[in-house]
Chain A
Amino acid sequence: MSLLEVRGLSKAFGGVRAVANVTFEVNAGELLALIGPNGAGKSTCFNMLNGQLTPDAGAIAFEGQSITGMKPRQVWRRGVGRTFQITATFSSMTVRENVQVALLSHHGRLKSLFTRACDQFVDEANALLERVGMRPQAERPCSVLAYGDLKRLELAVALANKPRLLLMDEPTAGMAPKERIALMALAADIVRTDNIGVLFTEHDMDVVFAHASRMIVLNRGELIAAGAPAAVRADPEVQRIYLGSRH
């Protein structure tokens, strides 16, 4: 049984078929890259996986159980973390507080009215920040971070509930090449040590080919290729509509 099984997933916006009958799996211990040109439907796909959008058709199963149509917070509780293409963080909090909120939520403590939040899960938060390399900036207001740092913070937040599946929508966008490599190395490390699955989208093919265990290709909402990076790279159709258009 795969970690995540997606069957016939479809979504249309008005006349636009953003995602059409897409089927794939993510296994524990692998980094699966979802690639495709702009507007291919990658983010839409992510948004259906974590419950932000309801699919028009299709089924999503996580660890063998259907999560189709669940709300994002329910999907998260099952162990699916995500980052956003456009970072979503809590700008009125410090870096550490962002992680603390996720930890508090994970431990079901957010309903507490009187305990002091900033004293809770400090060590755990620091450890997570350490892991993504944000420990030195823990006290800074989140609103002043550089874009790359925000992406790393998001990753720390996404890791707070010890997810078994991590969805990362363009995790390295806006980063310097060196940072990209570091971040993906980190992701690969997490996959290895925690034996989780990662699904990520990425426009930088160097990053993809360097880190992905497998890849799937979307074009105009349809899945056009899947397999090992080398095989996909060789696929003539992929070359034509995607790689060809870029190089």
Chain B
Amino acid sequence: MSPDAFAVQFLNGLASASTLFLIAVGLSLIFGVTRIVNFAHGSFYMLGIFVAYSLVTRIGDSPFGFWVSMLLAALVVAIVGLLVELVLLRRIYQAPELFQLLATFAVVLIVRDATLAIWGPEDLLGPRAPGLKGSVDILGRQFPTYDLVLICIGPAVLAALWFVLTRTRFGVLIRAATQDRDMVGALGVNQAWLFSGVFALGAFLAALGGALQLPREPANLGIDLVAIGEAFVVVVVGGMGSIPGAFLAAFIIAEIKAMCFAIGQTTLFGVSFSFSKLTLVVEFLVMAAVLIWRPWGLMGRPGAATRNAAEIEVPLKPADARTRKLGWVVLIALVLLPLVGTAFPYTIVLSIDILVAVLFATSLHFIMGPGGMHSFGHAAYFGLGAYGAGLLVKQLGWPMEGALAAAPVAAAVGALIFGWFCVRLSGVYLAMLTLAFAQIVWSIAFQWDELTGGSNGIVGLWPAEWLSEKWAYYYLTLTLTVAGVLLLWRVLLAPFGYALRAGRDSPLRADAIGIDVFHTQWMGFVLAGAVCGVAGGLFAFSKGSIAPEAISVGRSIDGLVMVLLGGIQTLSGPVVGAALFTWLQDLIAREFQYWRAALGFTILVLVLAFPLGVAGSIKRLFVKEVA
């Protein structure tokens, strides 16, 4: 590879970096001020490119019309963002941490289907930018003129933001709020308007980033998730809330990617290695490395306590007589289910899925709620359990029972290794490191054709003969799920669980009374991972196959949604949430053509009706003293 080639690839990297920066910077601002993990950010990006398409194809023939379209598109989406904030998020700022994530997740679903309904299923490739259609000669290569403009736009936006943040009152407030949220309240600033303004600004920037891509890529459904993934990585690598950090991170990631393509296929130590394939996960490798090295990102600061003061949790109690009775009723009903199951055979099938989801969500809740470690990558342990069991059957010819028993071991080993790194971090950084590890596991499963079957996964993983009847497998699942859930609950009410919560409530105090917080959290992580592995194993054998989807971000997010939907502050929350979500998804996907949007609206209704989660809000009705 010649130096010229590298130089031009460097320029390519700069163009991509500008794009990445624009996607990410708005997310960083929104998080910095409101502490909302805004999943809908990618949707704003996607809307940006679609709206820009509609505008440019109407008024974008002249350079003036084109650039006006870009700004207009961003403005339109900023208004959408503002509406989301005013109508939705504003009502739930008082909810427990992360709960807003649920609402933004619903927005993602709704925006996706709305876009499909408005713009249709076909990809829409916009025209090139007037006046910038061609290329210029750089080092004997044709380099797109538009990319040169893009390279300049990134730093221009950075400079504009710098100006706003340092020279305007709005900017000063944003910076103050990013550093210390309570301070802004103390300054007597109308916090509500600050939040709305920042949310709209963030949406504006995301949409602008999207719109500017129009000459480079078609408006298509699916870029929302791509964008949100990349945005999170950039923001976290740069340091949450740090705008120069986002710029630096975008630069580093884009350049590394460009260089991976530049190197392409090479031979390293006698082994042929494809660097272009590495781009599948390279950003997550970078993120993992950065977070291990600098737990607050490249330019972030050790966060002030992000804990929401409004968050008051009712102490966990062993179940009282009434709750116990309810538990027995539910359990007996579940045991009797196969009897009616002959009349409604699908009930059993769906129940197996629900039970697996319950176990998955309960294990996530264990570390996320009482453990205080918000894992965004819990699917890693689900996948390790599933693949572990699958590989033992397929590669080593183990019987299904043995493989299932090994599933938690496989997951626990993964959790032991990843947890050791993750537990040192906190808040969103911890969340993103768990996600990075999950993505790394996913990419290995996805790429390692010989072992894991690559993107197709492993098929032919059916239960042993004696479990082949659905009701038999149902009882197995029921037994393991009930055992797993009770185990985790028991542990939470045992001294270890108290130590775990102590470490979450006040690491300072916990350490000062002899609790090894790191070790406790680490072991909690491993235990949750192991139980999650059981869920993964059960899943694999109930489906007869396992594919990388089992480890995907989507599954991790489903887990978060279940926990939050049920209520993160109650033990029964994840159980209720998982059952409700799985059942709703099944029902709605069957009954509605635009099922994503229908599911999104359902979640929104639940979010607004039950701001502590379904189980949490119901429980609150029965608990007298809280405040």
Contact = CB atoms under 8 A, between A and B. Distances in A.
A and B bind: yes
Q: Which 3 A-B pairs have the closest CB atoms?
A: A88-B509, A90-B505, A92-B313
Q: How large is the interface on A (under 10, 10 to 19, 20 to 34, 35 or more residues)?
A: 35 or more
A195 interface: no
A109 B516 CA distance: 13
Nearest to A94: B315
A100 interface: yes
Given A105-B513, A110-B495, A114-B491, A90 B506 contact: yes
B496 interface: yes
Contacts of B625: 140-141, 144
Interface string A47-61: 000101000000000
A167 B313 CA distance: 29
A96 to B, nearest CB: 10
B498 A97 contact: yes
B491 A76 contact: no
A44 to B, nearest CB: 15
Interface string A88-121: 1111111001001110111001111111111010
A91 B309 CA distance: 11
Nearest to B509: A88
Interface of B: 312-318, 370, 490-491, 493-499, 501-502, 504-506, 508-516, 520, 625-627
A84 B317 CA distance: 28
28 contacts: A52-B508, A73-B514, A73-B516, A82-B512, A88-B509, A89-B505, A90-B506, A90-B509, A91-B506, A92-B370, A92-B505, A97-B315, A104-B495, A104-B498, A104-B499, A105-B513, A111-B496, A112-B494, A113-B491, A115-B494, A117-B493, A140-B625, A141-B312, A141-B625, A143-B313, A143-B627, A144-B626, A157-B509
A72 interface: yes
B314 A110 contact: no
Given A104-B495, A116-B318, A110 B505 contact: no
A116 B509 contact: no
B312 A143 contact: yes
B511 A114 contact: no
B313 A110 contact: no
Contacts of A112: 494-496
Contacts of A97: 315, 498
Nearest to A78: B514
A116 B491 CA distance: 8
Nearest to B515: A105
A113 B510 CA distance: 18
A92 B495 contact: no
Nearest to B507: A88
A34 interface: no
A92 B497 CA distance: 12
A89 B498 contact: no
A59 B498 CA distance: 34
A73 B626 CA distance: 31
Contacts of A116: 318, 493-494
B498 to A, nearest CB: 5
Contacts of A219: none
A92 B316 contact: yes
Nearest to B508: A88
Contacts of A100: 498
Contacts of B370: 92
B498 A113 contact: no
Contacts of B490: 113-114
Interface string A222-237: 0000000000000000
B513 A102 contact: yes
A192 interface: no
A91 B504 CA distance: 10
